[in-house]
Amino acid sequence: MNIKEKLPSIIIGLFLIGGLGIFASKFFGSEAGAKVVDVKIPKLSEIAEVGKQNFDANCAQCHGNNGSGSDQGPPLIHNIYNPGHHADASFYLAAKRGVNRHHWSFGDMPPQPQVKEKQMKEIVQYIREVQRANGIYFKEHNM
């Protein structure tokens, strides 16, 4: 069989390989390599200002400056963390219990026992104010 006779099979094979690559990246790569996102910082409330200080001291090392993400943790200023998908309580539980990897490929987040409940209230206020300034609002979560 010469190359002209094999050409349709080669084209179909390349098409299938490309399709499988796209399929795999959607399901296995998802948002795995969480890019650092550009974050606009609004004028913060007094509680959120304190929350920013707590965030910088306890969360920014992994979640990046202003929750923009890093090579160690995902951006929190991302639609995945809108209040309809991750309610405020999910942030409290994440700090208290840790989180198994599920949206991103960074690995598990360990518990953060040094962060107290009052600090979490301030951190969550900060995150939510920054999210709103970046167009992230409550969206009903549908599975």
Query: Residue 142's pLDDT is what?
Result: 82
Query: Residue 141's pLDDT is what?
Result: 84
Per-residue pLDDT of the chain (143 residues; tens, 9 = 90+): 666 676 566 556 445 454 444 444 444 444 445 578 999 999 999 999 999 999 999 999 999 999 999 999 999 999 999 999 999 999 999 999 999 998 888 999 999 999 999 999 999 999 999 999 999 999 998 86
CA 31 to chain centre: 8
Query: Residue 7's pLDDT is what?
Result: 52
- Specify whether 20 is located in the same domain as 67: no
- Specify whether 15 is located in the same domain as 58: no
Which two structure tokens, joined as six digits, stand for 8? 């349709």
Query: Residue 102's pLDDT is what?
Result: 87
- Specify whether 26 is located in the same domain as 58: no
**Residue 117: which CATH number?**
1.10.760.10
Full domain range(s) for residue 7? 1-30
Query: Residue 110's pLDDT is what?
Result: 97
